Amino acid sequence: MDSETCVIETEVGRIAVGSLIPLSSLNPLPRRADNLPPETPVLVGSLMPHEAEWFGTVYERAALSFSEFDIDGAKLMAICLQLGGLQVHWLADANDARFCNALVLWQQSRKIPIMFRVCHSVRGHRMVCVVTMPIVAERGARDVAQIVSPARTWDALLWAIGEGHRKVRATTGMLEMPLQHVLTNIIVTERLIPFAFAQ
């Protein structure tokens, strides 16, 4: 996968590409990230230029939540970031080794660095913030025998975004703040690359 890839065309339409990159790859480091280990994963989301206009500049009131669900045997996880009336979702393969490791490191540091990159930006525009990591229930050891194939996992992710997006599309967690925009990314790790780019 090209590091500049922001969106992919799929059978359910255009999907924004999310990813995980090491904190050490960011220069300069975002505020509140100085004391984080360099190997801390950064959660990356992709935006179109008009979507970037929905973002404010203050992230202190950001709310982050995690939910896990099963589709046809595939274990998926949804990450939801609430910024005022904007929600950004990432869908992930909950059994992916790299993603599981990211969850552990975020829990240990109690912080999660998040970067949004703006597609087709001449200057490579990006927005970075560091959000408090909520406590996520212990998931236990992965049962390798129960992990479904990458192809089946990819199909489940597409279904969740297409027909089943209501399963992960939360209402606003801020009672006084009406929900205005919802964006969704799929975290494409090495395990899913062959299927993400075979569309």
User: Considering the chain, what is the average pLDDT of its residues?
Assistant: 83
pLDDT value at 74 more than 90: yes
pTM: 0.87
pLDDT value at 100 more than 80: yes
Question: Per residue in 20-44, pLDDT tens?
Answer: 999 998 888 877 787 899 999 999 9
pLDDT of 79 reads 94
Q: Cα-Cα-Cα-Cα dihedral of 130, 127, 15, 188, to 10°?
A: -50
Q: What is the DSSP letter of 78?
A: E
Nearest-angstrom CA–CA distance, 179 and 181: 6
Return the higher-pLDDT residue of 138 and 45: 45
pLDDT of 60 reads 57
